[in-house]
Amino acid sequence: MGTIDANFAGETVVVTGGSSGIGRAVATGFGDAGATVINADVRAAPKDVDAETPTHEVIEERGGTAAFVETDVSEPSQIESVIEAARGFGGVDVMVNNAGVHRSLEFLDVAPADFEFVHGVNLGGAFFGTQLAAKDMIDRGVAGAIVNTSSTTAERAEWNHSHYAATKGGVQMLTRSAALELDRHGIRVNAVAPGPIATEIREGWAGEARSAIEESEGLPSRAGTPDDLPGAYLYLASDAASYVTGETVWVDGGASL
């Protein structure tokens, strides 16, 4: 099969939650494509069992430019700090709102603290990440791109996912609403909805995802890996998607079928 070469040289990309899992793969993907990458995460050290080197250092080792900014995306003021840091590299051209958390709880067991924690990171982080990045782009007269991380649970109910799925449904509608209002500024807003990806979004989840798929019949034929995701993000952020906005691209190995 052929390959597509993305070129983001001269552009600055902010990836929230870029230390591990999907965010790490997306951040390094943009780095490999020539972008200056800022990883905005609560910690630099990766959670992935097969990774030790922080994301920004990996990008630098490959000859790229990157930085880490300690960031809790549930606090808008900290997102503002990331945007300000990006100004030191010319300002945000692409914003990837990927940071996410998950707590596996049955609907009747979700406490207000659980609800607020998951919503603050998953939906609040994406909302204010989109808003603050857009303001920076508008101030600088940049026709930028924003890509949010949703989930197939935005439209497909699963056990123990009620509060998490609610945030991802919110991210999907945020993407559409922001795309509608930001279009006049030349800013495109899209989302990627990963399916069963073997990451450590919570301890043990990678193994659970693999086991569940191995025991099932039909699609997907395997659990996805973080490396299955960057192509969708790079496409949506690129000029190749200049006529695409308000869309959610599902990357799920056919699970939604």
Catalytic residue ranges: 164
Burial of 41 (0-12, 13-18, 19+ CB in 10 A): buried
For strands 94-97 and 65-70, give the pairing: unpaired
- Percent of residues in the chain assigned helix, strand, coil, to nearest 5: 45, 15, 40
Encoding tokens for residue 139? 């101030």
DSSP symbols for 186-207: T-EEEEEEE-SB---SSTTHHH
Q: How far apart are CA 68 and CA 66, in angstroms?
A: 7
Neighbours of 254 (CB within 10 A): 11
